[in-house]
Amino acid sequence: MSFNTNDFRDIDPGQRVLMGPGPSDVPARVLQAMSAPCIGHLDPTFLSIMDETQRLLRFLFQTENGLTIPVSGTGSAGMETCFVNLVEPGDEVVVCVNGVFGTRMSDIVNRLGATLIRVDAEWGKTIDPEDVRKAVQGKNPKLLAVVHAETSTGVCQPLEDLANIARECGALFLVDTVTSLGGIEVALDKMGIDAVYSGTQKCLSCPPGLSPISFSPAAMKALENRKSPVVSWYLDMSMVSSYWGAERKYHHTAPINMIYGLREALRIIAEEGLDARFARHQLNHTALVAGVEAMGLSMLVQEGERLPMLNAIRIPGGADDLKVRKALLNDLGMEIGGGLGDLAGKIWRVGLMGHSSCRRNVFLFLSGLETMLKFQGVKVREGALEAASSVYA
């Protein structure tokens, strides 16, 4: 097979404004950190960077957990890590499902040969803790799992009642924080969370490729007391933890430059401060919603249950979902997401995550959406930018 090397041009995707469900815009500091020289994964300098990354992750997760590391893989690898290490065939596992990612959890539980106890809620609604309480009556679940920030719908799930239920029935509490970490509070020790996973590409504003996880002492005890080996060699935390721990026992070659980037992204978060970061996400969300509603559009999720970093907007009658998204991308370089599953063609998913959560992007999106809808002949009210401005004022 022959080809002309001139057919392969330099990679230049052009400037984008990433306001979809992920990834988010990456700060120049993170990209610069990733361009530092690649060194060996057992080089003393890199081992020191690993230690610093763990310290920064514990700060972000607000935990003292020893096993707090970035898994080499995207957020879905983090999901699988938690389940394959803590679940064995025959275990009873409660999974709360109100969107795509709860469904994915359920699939993994079934693949592991565990007994799935599924608690469903309408997509766009939170899980009712009483439904979970009823589901565990007479059961002996090893794990209760829930998505904190359901990226497919924009729902923020309250965790306190579910953590109490898990504690009452003696189950480990597992939480998906892929979209919530770095945008709203995720305080593992205070919230009673035993196992957690996230992703680097959402509110951490680092390229996709790593999945921060953390296991509590109770989760580590469950791992140590397994009756059968972890089914995934690559994701077996009983071995991987020895590489990240004092032993420095080789397991696999770490994605060195990705960890450079994560360390820098976490450093940026620490410099801003958690409270200030959470307040910024909430402020920009409030302004965006004010502008959307001023146009006469509505949100999928009711007030009080919405995520500040992922906004699900109902597509108005007469609007062409795909044409609007293509026009935003082609004319403004702006990416937003469409709906998934039953919500396909019914909502737009607009991200305000990490570095992308800023006043400029709110105004750019509102003005762009208004223009595209008017071009399609959709009637929208005036005053979106004024409504958003009043929030900031």
Residue-level pLDDT at 2 = 75
Residue-level pLDDT at 79 = 98
Structure tokens at 67: 């096993």
CATH number for the segment(s) 28-271: 3.40.640.10
Question: What CATH class has 274-392?
Answer: alpha beta
**pTM for this structure?**
0.96
Parse the chain into domains and list their residue ranges: 28-271, 274-392
1 has a pLDDT exceeding 90: no
Looking at the chain, list the stretches that DSSP marks H as alpha helix, in order from N- to C-terminal side.
28-34, 44-61, 75-86, 100-111, 129-136, 160-168, 188-191, 217-224, 237-244, 256-272, 274-294, 321-332, 359-375, 384-392
Instruction: Count CA within 13 A, CB hemisphere, residue 143.
Output: 31
What Å distances lie between residue 343 and 124, 260, 340, 366, CA to CA? 9, 37, 5, 22
* SS3 assignment, position 363: helix
Residue range 284-307: average pLDDT? 98
- Distance CA(30)–CA(288), nearest Å, equals 27
pLDDT grade, residue 278 (50/70/90)?
Answer: very high
Looking at the chain, the number of H-run helices and the number of E-run strands are 14, 14
Residue-level pLDDT at 5 = 80
Compute the residue count for the chain. 393
**Residue 183: which of 356, 337, 17 has the closest Cα?**
356
Q: pLDDT > 70: what percent of the chain?
A: 100
